[in-house]
Amino acid sequence: MRETIKLMKVLSDESRLRVLNLIQERECCVCEVMLVMGISQSKASRICSALYDTGLLNLQREGRWARYSINRESAKGYVGDILTGIKKSLADNPAAQADLARLREVEKMVTNCASDECMEKIPESMLRLKSKRQTA
């Protein structure tokens, strides 16, 4: 029961649900989460780490880069049902859908997140968008 309680507590946060929605779409690097959500690297890392700690995500490290994906092993049984429910509930959520659209934009710009090109290829307009969200 403790694991279920821990999972539900982690999923009770809007930002974590939005990040989980992104990672359900495809594997994401922390820098992609950061850009899509308009949050700092440390906040993106904390959110991903909290989801990882529940067993929902896999973590793949490449040097200083971290990529997260859905842990298909933990997605069996009731956890899979929860993930499906989250995906369905966010299907008509404007913020979650805008996140997915921004993820597609970022994906077109960055082909190799595990290199310094990740941040170099991001247009200034997206970086300004990021800084506006952080100050709001």
- Enumerate the H helices of 55-136 as residue ranges: 78-89, 94-109, 117-120, 124-135
Using only C-alpha atoms, the chain has a radius of gyration, in whole angstroms, of: 15
Structurally, the chain folds into a number of domains equal to 1
Residue 131 forms part of a structural domain: no
The CATH code of the domain that includes 51 is 1.10.10.10
Among positive and negative, which fits the CA dihedral 104, 66, 5, 13?
negative
Per the structure, the complete domain to which residue 75 belongs is given by: 2-126
Count of alpha carbons within 13 Å of 24, Cβ hemisphere only? 24
The pLDDT tens digits for 59-109 are 999 887 889 999 988 878 889 999 999 999 999 999 999 999 999 998 877
pLDDT the model gives residue 98: 96
Residue 88 forms part of a structural domain: yes
Residue 90 forms part of a structural domain: yes
The pLDDT tens digits for 18-71 are 999 999 999 999 989 999 999 999 999 999 999 999 999 999 998 878 899 999
